[in-house]
Chain A
Amino acid sequence: MTAVTGVSALSVRNLVKSFGGRPVVKGVSFDLAPGEVLGLVGESGSGKSTVARCVARLTKPDSGEIRLGGRDVLGASRRELRTLRRDMQMVFQDPYSSLNPRMTAGALIEEGLLVHGIEPDRRKRRDRATALLETVGLSAADADRHPRSFSGGQRQRIAIARALAVEPKVLICDEVVSSLDVSVQAQVLNLFRDLRERLDLSILFIAHDLAVVHYLCDRVAVLDQGSLVEIGPCGEIYRRPAHPYTRSLLDAVPVPDPAAERARQAV
């Protein structure tokens, strides 16, 4: 799963981005293999969200190369970009601001199918939205409800269903569980686990929570002040971090175990 063979689902090369002359992303390169979940971790200001936004072409990088299944993202024409957008969907942190409050859950999920001309038939579109609601653990009856009547966790499920509707190959998730309560977070994390098993989906999972990444991701990339300091299989990096920065991050993560915490503090 971690070996990159053939064409990567997503390939990023020497990505550079500055804001107002201040470099934020300083030459970041990585590959996302088909079916892989890659965690991108770092502290605030590390540039992780900027990487995500560049990859999704929401922000134009200064230089670098981004390829989605071999196709050039940065040089894409408007027309090509439409197809690329279909193949690469994004889910954001805040499910309160990423869903149009005036649309029903069903309409929000159907929108992509309509815009991309995937399912012109109204009835079939509706059926697919219903199926997607069920995929993310909601029910058909929820299709007619508006975002405000859902909880934060349910809204995030709708955002995920909306992204999955167009059957993307790559999903970019930017801090998608960080505003959720732990019990709801666990539900959404489990949903991601089930989805990756059921669908042929590659996920770039941006998060600041190292325990969440450890639970969900195959590999992890550690970003410090705009540069990747380490990338590799989670199992190895969490057990034997090679870079001192990674080690300092891992050392600071609290563990819900009083005895383990006391032992750590005694060091």
Chain B
Amino acid sequence: MTPLLELDDLRASFPGPDGPVEVLRGVTMSVAAGEKVALVGESGSGKSVTARAVLRLDRDASLSGRVLLDGKDVLGLSERAMRDVRGARIGLVFQDPLASLNPVMTIGWQIMQPLLIRGVKKKEARRRGVELLGRLGVRDADRRFDDYPHQFSGGMRQRVVIAIAVIAEPALLIADEPTTALDVRVQAQVLTLLRELAAERSMSVLLITHDLGIVAGFADRVVVMRHGAPVEQGVVDDIYARPQHPYTRGLLASVPRIDDDPSRRLSTVDEAALEGEVR
């Protein structure tokens, strides 16, 4: 079976003062239809750049390798064709809901856009938008549809952003740190919604996060990134129970847990042991 999304030796470099800087050093991974994959790593690991490269969002990035969506390489698509991929085939949710919403437009207008630009009638777009917003746990969705972003709390705004991302029923949702700005209880609600939504629509999810706790409860498979390339990937239970790479082991051992004995000292990633690794 062809995976929905397949990255084959994806490389990205950005112009720097001393010539191009390679940020992705060959990412090879895939997301099957209906599968939830987490891309984890620390800052600078390239996890967000990977997500953005799939959608070709960074104009100054030079990309090489292949990004196959349904077996078709999107790196070769025209900008016009790319616009159709964004939103219709792949939805995107960013960390900061305030930055991704237009403050002077009603949230309803923003939720309807992906449908309106694809020729859906306004009345129908509104009906589907209100229904989806209600499904995402926004009470009084019909009335709130005409409110502005500032009238929503952080958690509610993130639901609006999710609504915009999934209204056109993309096959894949890319969520880049979607709950990092949220309080822990709201985070749990939003993750539950994403999980339910993915199940109801057999939608694949590529979740980018630094939080290994979130990954454990969300993903089917996990890809651990470091210095612009995956160091290890596999089924979530295997990676957590038997991490093979010293970096993955170090990362898992450095997370404090509320179900752990606090007198046990956290260990940290042993940079020295990783020195020999290919950079």
Contacts and interface: CB of A to CB of B under 8 A. Distances in A.
Nearest to B44: A181
Interface in B151-186: 154, 183-185
A252 B188 contact: yes
Contact of B256 (A212, A249, A254): A212
Contacts of A208: 183-184
B217 A186 contact: no
B231 interface: no
A249 B185 contact: yes
Nearest to A265: B217
Interface string B244-271: 0000001110111111101001111100
Given A186-B254, A189-B266, A255 B183 contact: no
Contacts of A259: 237
B187 interface: yes
A121 to B, nearest CB: 37
Contacts of A248: 185
A183 B232 CA distance: 17
B266 A43 contact: no
A24 to B, nearest CB: 16
A261 B42 contact: no
Contacts of A154: none
A256 B187 contact: no
A182 B210 contact: yes
How many of chain B's residues touch chain A, expressed as a range?
35 or more
A260 B241 CA distance: 12
Given A190-B268, A211-B258, A234-B262, A257 B216 contact: yes
Contact of A190 (B43, B185, B266): B266
A253 to B, nearest CB: 5
Given A190-B265, A190-B268, A211-B255, A181 B42 contact: yes
B82 interface: no
A243 to B, nearest CB: 14
A187 B154 CA distance: 31
Given A186-B268, A190-B265, A208-B184, A256 B255 contact: yes
Contact of B184 (A43, A255, A260, A262): A43
A182 B240 contact: no
B4 interface: no
Contacts of B42: 181-184
A214 B217 CA distance: 20
Interface in A174-200: 181-187, 189-190, 193
Contacts of B215: 256
A206 B154 CA distance: 21
B142 interface: no
B217 A258 contact: yes
Contact of B257 (A44, A234, A255): A255
B256 A186 contact: yes
B214 interface: yes
A239 to B, nearest CB: 10
Q: Interface centre among B42, B183, B256, by most A CB within 10 Å?
A: B256
B250 A264 contact: no
A211 B187 contact: no
A254 B213 contact: yes
B262 A214 contact: yes
Interface in A209-242: 209-212, 214-216, 234, 238
A131 interface: no
Contacts of A185: 254
| Those 3 A-B pairs whose CB atoms lie nearest each other, nearest first | A254-B213, A261-B217, A186-B254
Given A208-B184, A248-B185, A265-B192, 5 more contacts: A181-B42, A250-B258, A254-B216, A260-B216, A261-B217
Interface of B: 42-43, 154, 183-185, 187-188, 191-192, 195, 210-217, 236-237, 240, 250-252, 254-260, 262, 265-269
27 contacts: A43-B184, A43-B185, A181-B210, A182-B210, A182-B212, A182-B255, A183-B250, A186-B254, A211-B256, A214-B257, A214-B258, A215-B262, A215-B266, A234-B262, A248-B185, A249-B184, A253-B213, A253-B258, A254-B187, A254-B191, A255-B217, A255-B257, A256-B255, A257-B240, A258-B240, A261-B217, A265-B192
